């Protein structure tokens, strides 16, 4: 058991059987009344974000979440097979754990796998990845009705908006958090 004084960003708490990661915290000492700790927490499994306030010094249950580097090897049915970069052990991860990150994962990519007591919780990707455009319509010069963008399908199957001048076969940098186009990558 720990107290709210031990809370810091990244700490994982167990509340009602669910794991919550502290995103932000603030110790508040008002002029009148007792001190408290205001937090913003993210549910580790569902991704839901909530605000919660604790009385200062109250006891909270913390737990360790193991974060290790893995390499995405291949797909086995609906499972993603990841290899531990240190031990070379392979682990089958269900598609539900990977979630929308599948749209940005290529074989051979390094990812961070978070697990709790041997159970995989979620996968963290790098902030951006480089992917190739496999299909896009030719952009019409002078067509600015769409803000100068057009849809393009990436090699993973994800569709994003790109500038009109981009063609098939071009490598682009994509933000893994929201799927936005960040720029063109020259070989």
- Decide: 29 and 35 in contact? Cβ < 8 Å: yes
Final residue belonging to a domain, choices 124, 140, 167: 124
Q: Could you tell me what percent of the chain has a pLDDT over 90?
A: 5
Q: Please say if the pLDDT value at position 142 is more than 70.
A: no
* Residue 173: per-residue pLDDT: 92
**What six digits make up the tokens of 100?**
């929308």
Name the burial class of residue 162, with classes exposed (0-12), middle (13-18) and buried (19+) by CB atoms within 10 angstroms of its CB: buried
104-118: string of b/e by CB count within 10 Å (b at 16+)?
Answer: bbeeeeebebbbbee
The answer on 132 and 89 residing in a single domain is no
The answer on 152 and 177 residing in a single domain is yes
Final residue belonging to a domain, choices 45, 63, 81: 63
The answer on 140 and 116 residing in a single domain is no
For the chain, give the mean pLDDT: 85
* Residue 97: per-residue pLDDT: 81
CATH number of the domain within which 74 lies: 2.40.50.140
Residues 132-152 have a mean pLDDT of: 75
> Which of 79-88, 109-118, 140-149 is predicted with the least confidence, judged by mean pLDDT?
140-149
- Decide: 45 and 122 in contact? Cβ < 8 Å: yes
CATH number of the domain within which 24 lies: 2.30.30.30
The answer on 52 and 7 residing in a single domain is yes
Q: pTM score, two decimals?
A: 0.69
Give residue 161's domain range. 128-185
185: left (phi over 0), alpha (psi -120 to 50) or beta: beta
The answer on 134 and 168 residing in a single domain is yes
For the chain, the domain total comes to: 3
């Amino acid at each position: 058991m720990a107290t709210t004084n031990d809370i810091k960003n990244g700490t994982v708490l167990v509340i009602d059987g669910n794991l919550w990661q502290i995103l932000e915290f603030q110790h508040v000492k008002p002029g009148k009344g007792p001190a408290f700790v205001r937090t913003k927490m993210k549910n580790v499994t569902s991704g839901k974000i909530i605000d919660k306030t604790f009385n200062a010094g109250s006891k909270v249950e913390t737990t360790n979440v193991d974060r290790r580097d893995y390499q995405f090897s291949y797909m086995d049915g609906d499972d993603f097979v990841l290899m531990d970069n240190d031990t070379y052990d392979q682990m089958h991860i269900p598609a539900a754990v990977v979630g929308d990150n599948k749209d940005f994962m290529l074989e051979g990519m390094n990812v961070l796998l978070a697990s709790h007591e041997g159970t995989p919780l979620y996968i963290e990707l790098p902030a951006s990845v480089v992917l190739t455009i496999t299909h896009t319509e030719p952009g019409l010069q002078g067509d600015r009705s769409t803000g100068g963008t057009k849809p393009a399908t990436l090699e993973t199957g994800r569709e994003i908006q790109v500038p009109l001048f981009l063609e098939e076969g071009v490598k682009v940098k994509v933000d893994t958090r929201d799927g936005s186009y960040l720029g063109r990558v020259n070989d």
